[in-house]
Amino acid sequence: MGSSFEAGTVGYGAVAGIRKALMSVIFVCCGFAAAAESVVVAALGDSLTQGYGLIEEQGFVPQMRRWLAEQGADVRLINAGVSGDTTAGGAARVGWTLTPDVDAMIVALGGNDLLRGIDPAVARANLEAILAAAAAADVEVLLVGMEAPGNYGPDYKAAFDAIYPELAAAHDALYAQSFFDGLDAASDPEAALKLMQPDGIHPNAEGVALIVADLGPKVLELVQRASE
């Protein structure tokens, strides 16, 4: 991504910080208390986030919106998922995803890197750029992991699987082990298959509901962090 990307994100972070500070001064000087606003969360991802193969209301973001509302959370969740996107695509567009109103971000990328056999070091660098951009913009992050299949070999799997927990720890981001944990595929593979679309890659509406229920508490924790 290079120094130009990093410089851009740092510049944006400074502007965002100045903007927030000025707004606080305006409200104090005018004697008004700022009204509580919804926490704005951008879901940066690929087809899993975008809702591939499903009618809009069945996708991850709409189902997560409903789940959060049922918990009483005042959240505006933005669908920033792009089908086919890799970690490189996410890094390339994170700057314009992080608009001044965004308070937090869910990052769920890496599945397409796995499908293409992209070097784990490249995926790591891209995800690090995304987390650095979020930090520069003072945006809290939930990093959702992705686990490599065994057919790439143990070295590849170990290197790829380690990316997410290590980057989350390094950047003080919240961490969820896998987007698919809610499907419980390890203990009941046959049941998990029934929760997938015919392509075996994307969850069906019922599968998305289980994924949302599993990730929902982490998203609530993200919202709480962003509210502090």
- Positions annotated as catalytic residues are 47, 199, 202
Q: CA–CA separation, 52 vs 83, rounded Å?
A: 7
CB 5 within 8 A of CB 91: yes
Q: CA–CA separation, 47 vs 45, rounded Å?
A: 7
Q: Which two tokens stand for residue 123?
A: 């995926």
Please identify which residue in the block is written with the tokens 């990052």.
Answer: 107
Q: Is 81 helix (H, G, I), strand (E, B) or coil?
A: strand
Q: Which amino acid is at 140?
A: E
- Rounded to whole angstroms, what are the CA distances from 104 to 36, 44, 107, 193, 223? 16, 10, 10, 32, 7
